[in-house]
Chains A and B, each alone.
Chain A
Amino acid sequence: MSYLLTATCAVPAAGAVLTAALPAGSTEARRRTTKLTALTVSAVTLALAALAAARFKPGGARYQLTESYSWIRSFGISFSLGVDGIGAVLVLLTAVLVPIVMLASWHDADPAPAPDGTSDSATFEGRRRTQGFFALILAVEAMVIVSFLATDVFLFYVFFEAMLIPMYFLIGGFGDRAGGPEAARQRSYAAVKFLLYNLLGGLVMLAAVIGLYVIAQQQGQATFDLQSLTSAIADGKLVIDPTAERALFLGFFFAFAVKAPLWPLHTWLPNAMGESTAGTAVLITAVVDKVGTFAMLRFCLGLFPDASKFFAPAILVLSVIGIIYGALLAVGQKDIKRLIAYASISHFGFIIMGIFAMTSQGQSGATLYMVNHGISTAAWLLVAGFLISRRGSRLIADYGGVQKVAPVLAGTFLIGGLATLSLPGLAPFVSEFLVLVGTFSRYPVIGVIATFGIVLAALYALVLYQRTMTGPVRDGVRGMADLKVRELAVVTPLVALTIFLGVYPKPLTDLVNPAVNDTLSQVHRTDPAPAHPVAGPAGGEQK
């Protein structure tokens, strides 16, 4: 048994403790030590995640590098980890984004200058701000990675819930510098809203987790082990009656749909992303929310195949509403970060649609979408954060003509926007098109409606660019500095990945395809056959 997966989770967890325990950051040098420690830990985590992905053999068993340690034996709960192709790409995404987020947030947790000009580093809270911020990011990373790797339902549940706590403190404790007490009040409101929504989802899921255990126990399958449960369901050893299955499905799905978030459970997201720092907003939308969509694919479909099929049409309707609704709301926003948040809601609609269309293209596309949305939204949002930190305002109307004074900033912001509107050649296009084609082949009407989302995406992305970056240079924008070296180091890898994965997504699809096949066979779904299949090898390289 290898310890690679445990190490991938344990390193950031230990790093969080270590970072929190470092001497308080009353001086610049000490804060620098803290930041470099956290960054090093996240780099080691990335190396471990890359190693795990490299060791993973796409043609082999669904879950590989498995580890299992008995935890609460009397309930059949174990600390079991294993990686499949879907988990592997999402762990990689997390491990790539965390160091980038740290670098982008380098000064976000420095002691804030008080209104009278003195620094708040005199107070205890001020001194521990930096440690707190970076330790919390590492804690989130550790918990998210465990969630992607857990092959025990209870283990997953615990970490799915636990990550709310560090996220809560990240949202409530650190925000854009702009605004005084009013901003702090808005922040607390956003943090509490985030917590309440997600806790409520989690509580409902807990009831369903216990319910599942009770039913399994009655049939002699007293375990939380995912693979035992799914194979027992597949072999007919574990039979859940349809009503109970649907109730349990809804219990799980509700929690994931709050987190993802699916329309109409999305209203916490714009507050949380708007009020937190750009780095935290990236953690929310690009990393933490992905646990929700990931869990739909792994737990809802794997454990409750018949209920998944039963509810799929309803979920597809909600997701296509989310696609259009989120995009229209983005068009109507006045606040840059809230606009990006609503754009994300639209994108989550695409991801969920791809999952529940239950076709190979839809689910492979949805998995790629999770990765590509993570990377491209991170680029867009972090550049927006750099912009906002220069001007001290999130309002679109406060900008104009930035491309004249800061062309590199404007250029990278445009690339982020173009990725968001799924320009062909960039990564999100591949995943969005796969989701659309996968949905269309089974539900043409929904596929067509969703396709109109691409017009709205162009509208909100290009209008945002036009209003902030073009036109005459506005007063508050004059003299704005272009991207600094650290900021370039943040944006460059994201832009490079967006282009690379748009041109050559094969490394990811090779990982993802087998896991998607397995998921589809769990729900007993096969792709709709083409009406008039082309004979012979004309369809390009057949694998």
Chain B
Amino acid sequence: MNSLIPLLVAAPLAGAALLLLGGRALDRFGHWLGTFAAALSFVFGLVLFFSMLGRSAAQRPVQEHLFSWVPVNGFQADVSFQLDQLSVTFVLLITGVGTLIHLYSVGYMAHDERRRRFFGYLNLFLAAMLLLVLADNYLLLYVGWEGVGLASYLLIGFWQHKPSAATAAKKAFLVNRVGDVGLSIAIMLMFTDFGNVTFNGVFGAADQASKSQLTAIGLMLLLAACGKSAQVPLQSWLGDAMEGPTPVSALIHAATMVTAGVYLITRSGAIFNLAPQAQTAVVCVGAVTLLFGAIVGCAKDDIKKALAGSTMSQIGYMILAAGLGPIGYVFAIMHLVTHGFFKAGLFLGAGSVMHGMDDEVNMRHYGGLRKLMPITFVTFGLGYLAIIGFPGLSGFFSKDKIIEAAFAKGGTEGWILGAVTLIGAAVTAFYMTRVMILTFFGEKRWQPDAEGHQPHPHESPATMTTPMIVLAFGSVFAGGLLAFNSSFLKWLEPITGHSEGNSPLSSTVVTLLTMACMLAGVGLAYAVYGRSPVPVTPPVGSVLTRAARRDLLQDDFNHAVLVRPGSALAAALVYFDSKGLDGFVNGLAATIGGISSRLRRVQNGYVRSYALSMFGGTLVLVATTLLMRSV
């Protein structure tokens, strides 16, 4: 049975290899081949999941060692997998949502001449993401970690002829690389502290290490998580990543890859639990990003960028929960799963709207679409209700638990975090209601395209709507299912541990407060956008609105602090290298040997004779030395 684990990765990897190397012969059915590879991996995942269900909690984690990867004296890293309750949860999410999005892409990318390559990249992503969550050591995890970064780079830049797409792809990779520096250093620290980089080895020895060592490792892991999960201060790439085709935004930049940071922190719980300062840093990053993303989400008129802000914010919730330690790990992952369903569904809905509106992304040019795109409206609407935490739907259970956990942290910290998560809930309700109203309600504000064609919105084909419907089911029921009888808590607890904390508020009070915040957000959005016509051109807005439209000036900041000084430094060094350093060495040579005059002769055409005489001189010198010694 365990031998199925490598096949989870192998199926999409083989698919990617076939699709990328296969040539035009595969164009006709390549997309189905890619979808099949994803579905196959999902089936393997299900088989492994049910077989795990049949075992007792202690027996559930299994290892599958394939081969020795980097064997050097003192340093060992193997290609070896670990499947436990945490990783199988991810496996099912990745392959399940992944298969649906493959299916959706069959329709969405139908008119793209490079569709086969698109499916190749999607399969490559699945393989890398599965490797990330199945690795039993940090170095192998790193391969998946940068592998998903590569797939993300290729898919954001899929329409490479658009300079904006190429730039966004490069930016995503670079910002992630800064995070990867953190992961590299964390692994090096583990090696110097424990002589080992496997999960079991490091976690088993963690309690012997000093607090400062563990804090350093924790902070470096947090840096890595910030890059991959678009958390402040490495958040700037996610908005631009919306340049990629919408299925990519749904799968990679909403449901799976961007949640890898949450996985990393939860997986490394044994380290963080012993490093409270690192945990505080995690919580702060989560809290700041939660608000940052929500504010940006309120200001964007581009539907995908509004959703991207929302993704940042929701992952902020998860990171915050993970930073709470055993109080929050389970709920971080639970929100990750439910978010995977409803956010993927929302993005697919957005893609469906764009599909019907000639790739228009500006919500101010939408309006009144609910009658023309009924399936999209209903599925998107259910995703909307789920994300704002409407009672009974998925987001209600998972977000509510995080807010409770934040209060349960206790003390002043608990009050602050609780307040932040509540404010976040209100803002979430506001910006999502805004998206909903601008897109589906109100009057039509459709604009003709450059050639003067009016858009003719229509419902999308079944290959696209089927995945949307399935995800809508997930958005409605997943949260309740996981929360029912605390089944998810019991499932994950053996791996992540769990503690209740001590909340100053009863869970009923927290739920009521959350409801109140949500209603306030919805009501405010309705008051602003629902009661009067929405202007097609955005009003100037307040200073905050304008800053939020520019992503709270993140790019201006990065440009001023990093890009401009960096380019200046590179230019200065280029000058220094050719004029300063080279000139210095040449000058030195000239002073010593009068070489500059010879150089001039050389340039007049005596190159070879000069070279030969130089070499001849060396030979004579050698010969003379030898002769002198033998005499």
Contacts and interface: CB of A to CB of B under 8 A. Distances in A.
Contact of A199 (B67, B188, B571, B614): B614
Given A360-B74, A538-B196, A425 B170 contact: no
Interface string B158-173: 0011110111001001
B204 A534 contact: yes
B161 A472 contact: yes
A72 B629 CA distance: 12
Contacts of B145: 424
A535 B567 CA distance: 48
A332 B160 contact: no
Interface string A428-440: 0110011011101
B77 interface: yes
A517 interface: yes
A210 interface: yes
Contacts of A534: 194-196, 201-202, 204-205
Given A191-B607, A441-B188, A462-B170, A530 B68 contact: no
SS class, residues of chain A in contact with chain B: helix
SS class, residues of chain B in contact with chain A: helix
B174 A458 contact: yes
B73 interface: yes
A452 B181 contact: yes
A470 B68 contact: no
A483 B608 CA distance: 36
Contact of A425 (B74, B147, B181, B630): B147
A459 interface: yes
B213 A332 contact: no
A373 B630 CA distance: 44
Contact of B192 (A195, A440, A458): A440
B157 interface: yes
Interface in A417-451: 418, 423-425, 429-430, 433-434, 436-438, 440-441, 444, 447-448, 451
B177 interface: yes
B195 A539 contact: yes
A192 interface: yes
B610 interface: yes
Interface in B440-493: none
A513 B73 contact: yes
Interface in B571-587: 571, 573-574, 577-578, 581-582, 585
A488 to B, nearest CB: 12
Given A185-B603, A437-B187, A509-B71, A164 B161 contact: no
B25 interface: no
Nearest to A543: B71
A200 B585 CA distance: 12
A331 interface: yes
B364 to A, nearest CB: 29
Contacts of B560: none
B193 A424 contact: no
A286 to B, nearest CB: 22
A1 interface: no
B574 A333 contact: yes
Contacts of B77: 540
Interface string B69-110: 111111111111000000000000000000000000000000
B287 interface: no
A430 B70 contact: yes
A454 B177 contact: yes
Contacts of A424: 142-143, 145-147
Contacts of A21: none
Contacts of B174: 455, 458-459, 462
Contact of A418 (B150, B204, B589, B614): B150
Contact of B209 (A529, A532, A539): A532
A454 B188 contact: no
Given A471-B166, A539-B201, A530 B607 contact: no
Contacts of A451: 181, 184-185, 188
B31 to A, nearest CB: 18
B192 A455 contact: no
Nearest to A185: B603
Max count, chain B CB within 10 A of own CB: residue among A164, A333, A441, A510:
A441
Contact of B177 (A165, A458, A535): A458
A192 B577 contact: no
Contacts of B157: 470
Interface stretch (B375-383, B551-559, B617-625): B617-625
Contacts of A365: 72
Given A206-B621, A466-B170, A329 B150 contact: no
Interface in A57-93: 72, 74-75
A393 interface: no
Given A437-B191, A463-B170, A527 B178 contact: no
A401 interface: yes
A471 B161 contact: yes
Interface residues of B, number: 87
Contact of A360 (B73, B213, B567, B630): B73
B195 A364 contact: no
Contacts of A540: 68, 76-78, 80, 137, 198
B76 A541 contact: yes
A295 B150 CA distance: 36
Nearest to A432: B184
A506 B194 contact: no
A313 interface: no
A179 interface: no
A516 interface: yes
Contacts of A440: 185, 188, 191-192
A164 B612 CA distance: 11
Contact of B139 (A433, A438, A533): A433
B622 A206 contact: yes
Max count, chain B CB within 10 A of own CB: residue among A424, A441, A470, A527:
A424
B73 A517 contact: yes
Given A539-B76, A542-B76, A423 B150 contact: yes
B569 to A, nearest CB: 6
B599 interface: yes
Nearest to B210: A531
A328 B573 contact: yes
A234 to B, nearest CB: 20
B618 A192 contact: no
Given A506-B68, A538-B201, A540-B198, A454 B184 contact: yes
Contacts of A404: 160-161
Interface string A316-333: 000000000100110111
Contact of A165 (B188, B581, B615): B615
Given A188-B602, A364-B73, A332 B170 contact: no
B595 A196 contact: yes
B193 A531 contact: yes
A161 B569 CA distance: 37
Nearest to A512: B72
Given A75-B629, A196-B595, A533-B195, A504 B160 contact: no
A441 B191 contact: yes
B75 A360 contact: yes
A374 interface: no
Contact of A74 (B165, B574, B630): B630
A349 interface: no
Contacts of B608: 169, 172
Interface of B: 67-80, 137, 139, 142-143, 145-147, 150, 153, 157, 160-163, 165-167, 170, 173-174, 177-178, 180-181, 184-185, 187-188, 191-196, 198, 200-202, 204-205, 208-209, 213, 566-567, 569-571, 573-574, 577-578, 581-582, 585, 589, 595, 599, 602-603, 607-608, 610-611, 614-615, 618, 621-622, 625-626, 629-630
Given A425-B146, A471-B161, 12 more contacts: A72-B626, A360-B72, A429-B143, A441-B188, A454-B181, A462-B170, A466-B170, A531-B213, A532-B208, A533-B196, A539-B76, A540-B77
A-B interface, 8 closest residue pairs, ranked by CB to CB distance from nearest: A530-B195, A470-B166, A332-B570, A360-B73, A540-B76, A538-B201, A424-B143, A332-B574
